[in-house]
Structure 1
Amino acid sequence: MVKLQEMSQNEHGLYTEIATEKELLKLTTNTKLCVVHFYHKEFRRCQIMDKHVSEIARRHFKTKFVKINVDNAPFLVEKLHIQILPCVIAFVDGISVDRIIGFEELGNTDTFTTAILEIRLSQSGVITKKEAPKKEERKTILGFAGGNADDDDDDWD
């Protein structure tokens, strides 16, 4: 409970904007799990990514989600070789472990779903995707799971 209160005070579960590179460096090096969206305010695709990242942030409380305007981070943009926007970088213990550049890995469409982005981020280990509970296998009245095409029942010939 104490850990949850501490994370809440540090704005976990929110998607916040970082104003300076110095703040971002401090945050990524002092936070275990962090997702950073590098964006430009006039790019429509960055606005689309914003919407999805914001939704994911509310569901993944253990990960810190932030965004920074590339105009405010020229050193990091050059250092991290960011050339295409939007660019989402996953950090674990201050180390960049993964990046999503543009929408290519998200179906290469502006209409990708939040779930696709969530699955993609879970592959990097920066969030944990909760799997849906498995459905119980249904049985027929006779107690068998279903017809098997390989089952040649020659008893009725």
Structure 2
Amino acid sequence: MALDSGTGKESGINHDREDEDADAILASLEVEDSGAYRARRLEELKNAAGASAGTTTFATVKKAYITLSSDDEALAFTTEHERAVLHFFHPEFARCNTMDTHCELIAEKHAEYGNADVSFARVDVKNAPFVVEKLRVRVLPCVIGFVKGAVKGRVTGFEGLCWDGKEGSVDVTRALEDVLLGWKVLTKRLLLGHEDERSDDNEEAPDHRKAVRGAIRSRNQKNEDDDDDWD
């Protein structure tokens, strides 16, 4: 009986060990499965991100010209991008609205066809007083171009862009693109209608000019205030 009792204990111990071994094996399998699942999901997410990054959508283009809301955002924008264009504006100035349209058109075109190698933004001067003072922005609108955080040039008002008073003209949009190109902030010219790119069979240019004029006219109707000296 004692022998039988001892054998029963040994058998029980063996069963316990087998159960522990089985639990350990299951636990290790669980860890392996979890790791493999995470790795697989990470790979799937990377592939999905890569696919979406290579696709230009309407939503992507609409975000090509962003609005900054503080000094911190303005400073980060000018330093974190290789090439950047920042429009300092006042929402109640009609001329700022006109310049805003020119900047937006250039931004969207370069985001759509220029591989987004330049970033565009605008900031209300009331929301970024430190940056405004640092860059000595005194007259609006003011467009400043940056390369690797360094100022490469600025347009004050419409100086150098317009000589006939037609600040809403598509020619001003093209002139602004040329200025940015001269600063090396832009690396290519993409707007239609430049003298060196015109051709008789270019049917898109008239439609583009109409679209620009319509957009600028719509903004100007919202505000007829022509004051640009805000300081």
TM-score (norm 1): 0.74
- Which residue is 2:147 aligned to? 92
* Larger Rg, first or second structure (1 or 2): 2
Query: By how many angstroms is 1:19 displaced?
Result: 0.5
Equivalent of 2:134 in 76, 79, 82: 79
Alpha-carbon distance between aligned partners in 2 of 1:23 and 1:122, rounded to the nearest angstrom: 25
SS of equivalent to 1:85: coil
How many corresponding residue pairs? Answer: 133
Q: Root-mean-square deviation (CA), in Å?
A: 2.7
SS of equivalent to 1:36: strand
SS of equivalent to 1:105: coil
Query: Does 1:59 find its partner at 2:82?
Result: no
Query: By how many angstroms is 1:133 displaced?
Result: 5.4
Aligned 8 A contact 1:106 1:112 in 2: no
Query: By how many angstroms is 1:112 displaced?
Result: 3.6
What letter corresponds to residue 131 of structure 2 in structure 1? L
* Structure 1, 67-76 or 121-130: larger mean CA deviation: 121-130
Query: By how many angstroms is 1:111 displaced?
Result: 3.1
- Which residue is 1:18 aligned to? 68
- Which residue is 1:36 aligned to? 86
Identity %: 36
Equivalent of 1:115 in 162, 174, 187: 174
TM-score (norm 2): 0.52
Q: Deviations over 1:101-155 (max 9, x none)?
A: 00121114323421111111111111121475587xxxxxxxxxxxxxxxxxxxx
* Structure 1, 46-55 or 115-124: larger mean CA deviation: 115-124
- In terms of fraction of residues, the more strand-rich structure is 1
Q: Which runs of 4+ in 1 moved over 3 A?
A: 130-135
- Which residue is 2:183 aligned to? 124
Query: Does 1:5 find its partner at 2:62?
Result: no
Query: By how many angstroms is 1:77 displaced?
Result: 1.1
Uncovered stretches (5+) of structure 1, i.e. residues with no partner: 136-157
Q: Deviations over 1:7-28 (max 9, x none)?
A: x7xx676111001110111121
- In terms of fraction of residues, the more helix-rich structure is 2
Query: By how many angstroms is 1:62 displaced?
Result: 1.3
Uncovered stretches (5+) of structure 2, i.e. residues with no partner: 1-48, 111-115, 200-231
What letter corresponds to residue 174 of structure 2 in structure 1? A
* Structure 1, 107-116 or 66-75: larger mean CA deviation: 107-116
